[in-house]
Structures are given as C-alpha cells and as structure tokens.
Amino acid sequence: MQSQGKVGPLPHWDLSNVYSGLESKDFKETVSRLKADLDQTDDYLLEHGISRDGARPHDAEQLAEIIGGYLDRMNDLLRLSGTLNPYVHSFVSTDSYNTTAKRLESELDKLGVRLERQGVLFQGWLRTITEDPQALPAALELEGPAKEHAFFLREAAEQSQYLMSEAEETLASELSLSGATAWAKLQGVVSSQVKVPFEREGRTEELPITVLINLHNDPDEDVRHRAYDAELSAWERAREPLAACLNGVKGSVITLYKRRGRTDPLHETLDHSRIDRETLETLLGVMRDSFPVFRRYWHSKAERLGKPTLAWWDLWAPVGRLGRRYSWTEARDFILGQFGTFSDQLAGLAQRAYENRWIDAEPRDGKRGGAFCMRVLGVEESRVMCNFDGSLDQVFTIAHELGHAYHNETQKGKTPLQRRTPMTLAETASIMCETVVSDAALAQAEDPEEELAILEIFLLSASQVIVDIYSRYLFETEVFQRREDAELSADDFCEMMTRAQKETYGPALDEDSLHPYMWTWKPHYYIPELSFYNFPYAFGLLFGLGLYAIYQERGSEFLEDYDALLRSTGEGMAADLAGRFGIDLKDRAFWEGSMKVIEERIDRYVAL
C-alpha cells in the first residue's frame, strides 16, 4: 500500500442498456406502457370491487384468485416504475441543472400517485377481508401468487388499520406533489447547486459544495479550518429556503400521522423497520453507554493533534501515515481483491459493476453529495453514486455501496413486492463488505503509523454511525416535538442541532466549533415517507459486525446462510431473520458484543 496514485479520470455511470435517452423512443414507449397498465389495473380493481366498500368473496379459491390477479398486475407496475424512476433519478442526482430530467421526474411522480392510490384501495379492501379472521389464512394456503406473497399480504393487512379514508389517502398523495415531495426536491436542488469560492495554493476556485465538504479530511489544518468556515458561510446564505423545506416536510408528516391514528412519527418508522420499541430502546441504550468509549478515542486524537479538545474541522483530520491517494484503478483492484477473499459471487458482481460502468464517481457542480446505491429492476442491475476523492475512506464507501448492489443481486428472481427490505436490514450487506475491506487494510498495514491511519478511518466512520447518528436522532425527535406547535426558524434548527451535538459528543469536542448546519444538507431529514432515517445505520453497523464475527467463526460455511438471509429480507421480521443465526435483538449482550469490536479498536488506537 505504498504507491501514491493520482486519482485520475473518474467514471460517470452508464445506463444506455436501460434506455437510449431521456426523450428516446424506448423510454417513451415504457412510459406509455406504464400508463396503459395503470388504466388496466384501475379496471381490474373496479371489476372485482377492490375497495373499502367493495365485495368480500367468502370462497377461499375466489379470494386467492382475485388477490393473485392484483399481485401480478402490481408487480408488473412496480417493475416498470422501478426502471423508469431510477433511470430519471440517475440524471437528476448527478445534474440538478437538467430541466428535462426534472420535468420527467415530475411526470413520473404523478403516475406514482396513481400507483399509490391503487395500493391504498387494495389495502383498504384487505382490511375488510380480515374482518373474517379465517378468510385470508385460508386463501394463503392455496398454491399461487397469494401464497407466494404471504408475508406481504399479512403485513399489508396489519398496516391497513392506519389508513385514512380512500378519499383522504388519495388527496394526501395528490397534494404531496406540491407539498412535502416538492419541498424535498427543492432541498435537493438548493443543496446541490451551492458553490463556494475557495483559495488553495495561491489560486481561488469556485468549488461545488460536495468538493468543499471533501476537504474535511485534508492533512493541512488551515485548509480544513477555512473549508469549515466557508461551508458554514455557504449554508448561512442558503438556510432560509432549506428551513422552509424542513418545515414543509415535517409539518406534512405530523398532519398525516395524526390523521392515520399513529402514536407518533416514530411509530411508522418502527413498523417499516420491522422492529418494536423495545428493540430500538435496547439499541439506543447500548449506543448511549458507548459515548465515553468514543470520547476516549477523540481525546487521544486531540492529543495527537496537539490540542486539548477537537474542533469540528478536526474530526476528519488524518492521523498516522497514510498520505497516499488511491487512483480509481488502485481502489478498484483493492476492493476486487478483498471481495474475492470473501466469496467469488461478491467479487463477480463487483467486477461487472466496474466493467459495465455502474458507478458514478466524479464530484461536480450540480451533483448531490454523499453516496447511494439504487436498483434498476428492468435490467436486474444496480447503480452506485459516490464522490470519489482518492482517500481510503472513499474506498470503504465504494465497498459499502457495492454491498448494497450485492444485496440486490441475491434477490434476483424475486418479485418487487417480495424484495421490500426494511431499513434496519438494508445495511447488512453494505456493512459486511465495508468490514471485509477495512479488515484487509488493517491486516496489510506495514507499520504502526499506517495501522493508526487505517484505524482512524474505521473509528471515524463508526463514531459517525453511533454517536453522530444518535445526535441526528435527538435532533429529529425535538424537531417533531416543536414543529407540532409552530413553524421553526433556521435559528431554531441550528440551536437544536448544536444541542444534540453537545449531548452526544460531550467534552471531547470544542463547544465553540460545532456544526449547526448539519440539517441543511443531509437528505435523510427531507424524505416525507421516511422519518428517522438515522438509527437504521447504527442497527446495520452493529448487526453487520455481529454477523461478521459469525463469519469469522464459520468461514465459507457461513456464506450460504448469509446469501439466504439477504435474499429473504423482504419477507420476514428483523427478529425472525436474525434468529436464524441465534441472534436475539432484544438482548443487550448481542449489541454490546458488536460494540466490543469497536472498543477493542479504540484500545489499539490509544495504545499506538
């Protein structure tokens, strides 16, 4: 690991095997087909009385047949929309100036409302079916689509108790396009188009905010500090529209959870995560108890930097000797090599991702920050977005996102309704892949200084997922509590964010140099249908580390069960799937065992 590779030219993803262009004949034909299939499904629902006031077949065979007809149609619709939407999103997420893509996204959103309405009609009808406790179970005993989708149907029936009336649900979906969804889109546009003048090496450049944020791990403190100041100034200028966006999204969520009879905004997230409050409280308790351990890491880092406490711009400061930057080719080869030690299937999937340009890696103006992986159902492939800067941290990020792609790969052949993975389990494969690569980097360290540098990257990531994620959980909880009474100002959001950071980072961080604007650019806060998209990352990290420990014990025998777990994450409760490996999610000992892995690495970091 000695070469000093230049980052080199970075790939943009290729989706030409999906459609030949945004305004191409094949794209337009698929949109037309989606519209026609929506019309036909509407006719099917009407013909069979599938609505809350519709007929209730009492014959199990007839019920199974009607349900099967709906499932076949819905899966076809989801395949079409699950191809069109990611294709358009591939343009929107990497070029927010693309007006054609944004127009098409809006058009598809309207079709999505129709699709959502059909799901509401079916779910409301399913609610009436369950008034006879024997009806649905009898239908699920018969061979066919209903039996094959038993978990989806039982879950849909259970969640149907939180539906508003059909008219209200339809209105809510239609209004979301000019309400919460519009606010979320505005946040994406505003945050991705922020540019900041920044001086380096005697030359001032206009940097996209994604590039500026990447400077948080520059070895020069002056660069990090000035980048931090420039970033805060940039968000200061953009904060009013972003505060309006957050108010709009959270206000909509509050209105709807009350109308639907939910306990609070967290209630729906727990159900979607397929865990209960006891499991979450167990996880959060272990996270809270770990704060002193992480503070020991930060105090040690501060000492190495010659400071009493860390400033925010020091959190990502490199420590040890790992000044190299990976070229794109070096990063690829390292990832493929380590994936090969885990399984041939994983390495083969990653090889295809590189060869077929599934990855968009270049940071640029108009491209959103962060990283993600999306499934493209029509071609049974994935696409990964990242903002590669040549750092080892970014190498780990790519490995993480390719883990999501592998998870998608294991579910090939499943229907869209069978693939609906909860947030808590969605990080399983990504954490496993990141751990495989980070462990290999540690094993290959050639001296203590290099080991220290690699430990720093791992611990920085772990501290973000445990401590910073907890601060985001506290922040979002308070946002919901206060937003119920009135709209909140940008100052209110900054005050809450700062308070959450003080409570979690504690004395390890200089209170005068926190980051009050973390709420502006994290897209997770702005997803109307997905509140509290924070704790699932901690769940995923600790669950993944627990599985990795089992893998180390069992070796290659583990892989078949692991792939089976990934394949079935859309068809089981988190506790039941974890139970296959003897894991009890309500047992603190499991979570503490995973946390112990992190603590041992902190011990090693402090000792070096």
3-state SS, one letter per residue, for 515-543: CCCHHHHCHHHHCCCCCCCCHHHHHHHHH
What are the DSSP calls for 6-50, one per residue?
----------TTT-S-TTSHHHHHHHHHHHHHHHHHHHHHHHTT-
Return the amino acid letter for 482.
R
The residue that leads in pLDDT, 603 or 52, is: 603
Among 31, 43, 109, 36, which Cα is nearest to 70's? 43
- Tens-digit pLDDT profile for residues 89-103: 999 999 999 999 999
> Which is nearest to 387 in space by CA: 11, 97, 5?
11
Reading the block at residue 317, the tokens are: 């400061």
Tokens of 79: 């395949």
Q: How many residues belong to the chain?
A: 608
pLDDT-above-90 percentage for the chain: 89
Average pLDDT on 522-536 reads 93
Q: Which residues face 374 on adjacent strands? A: 383
Q: Is 21 left (phi over 0), alpha (psi -120 to 50) or beta?
A: left
Buried b / exposed e over 372-385, threshold 16 CB at 10 Å, is ebbbbbbeebbbbb
Neighbour order of strands in the sheet with 372-376: 359-360, 381-385, 372-376
pLDDT of residue 547: 93
Q: Are 57 and 352 in contact (CB under 8 A)?
A: no
Cα–Cα dist 216/312, whole Å:
9
pLDDT at 323: 54
Task: Output the DSSP codes for 274-290.
Answer: T--HHHHHHHHHHHHHT
* pLDDT for residue 29 is more than 90: yes
Q: Which of 53-57, 269-273, 277-281, 338-342 has the lowest mean pLDDT?
A: 53-57
E strand spans, 184-251: 195-200, 203-208
pLDDT at residue number 3: 37
pLDDT of residue 456 exceeding 80, the answer is yes
CA-based R_g, the chain, Å = 24
Amino acid 4: pLDDT: 40
Q: For 100-118, write each residue's pLDDT tens digit.
A: 999 999 999 999 999 999 9
Cβ within 8 Å of residue 101, ≥6 positions away: 22, 88, 91, 92, 95
Residues sharing a CB contact under 8 Å with residue 163, sequence separation 6 or more, in sequence order: 120, 123, 124, 127, 169, 260
DSSP state of 356: T
Task: Give the max Cα distance, the chain.
Answer: 80
| Packing angle of the helix pair 428-443, 448-463 (nearest 10 deg) | 160
Say what the pTM is. 0.88
Instruction: Yes or no: say if 543 and 535 are a contact pair by the CB < 8 Å rule.
Output: no
60-71: average pLDDT: 97
- Across the chain, what does the average pLDDT equal? 94
Report whether pLDDT(344) > 90. yes
Q: How far apart are CA 25 and CA 32, in angstroms?
A: 10
The per-residue pLDDT for 1 is 35
